[in-house]
Amino acid sequence: MTAETALVWAGVVLIGGIGSVLRFVVDRSVSRRLAQPFPFGTLAVNVSGAALLGLIGGLALDKDAALVAGTAFVGAYTTFSTWMLETQRLGEERQTWAALLNIVVSAVLGLAAALLGQWVAEHL
């Protein structure tokens, strides 16, 4: 392993850790403020993460920078598994419309946010 490769891996560990802690902070902050059974915290995390990943994808980053910023940070920040678990929980609680809304709103806003992030990157 070269020193450069070791540095990239160290960046992945550090930046990924920061992303996961930030996910927790944002999710909890939004959830506490809104205090609703709908998972607004996860929605906020995933939509903001989609925007950030769109921005990163639209920038001309080298392979290692894209790995650290996109995969490590945004990958650790966003959370598909929590989104699906919360959707399943809403279904178990017979909140079918809320579960369907969580899927549709997350997908639509996530795509729009990613496109917006890409657009911003192209205009920098």
Known binding residue 41? Answer is: no
| Angle in degrees, CA 5, 6, 10, rounded to 5 | 120
The number of C-alpha atoms within 13 Å of 37 and in the hemisphere containing its C-beta is 14
- Residues 40-73 as b/e (b if ≥16 CB within 10 A, e otherwise) read bbbbbbbbbbbbbbbbbbbbeeeeeeebbbbbbb
Known binding residue 75? Answer is: yes
Annotated binding site for Na(+): 75, 78
Annotated binding site: 75, 78
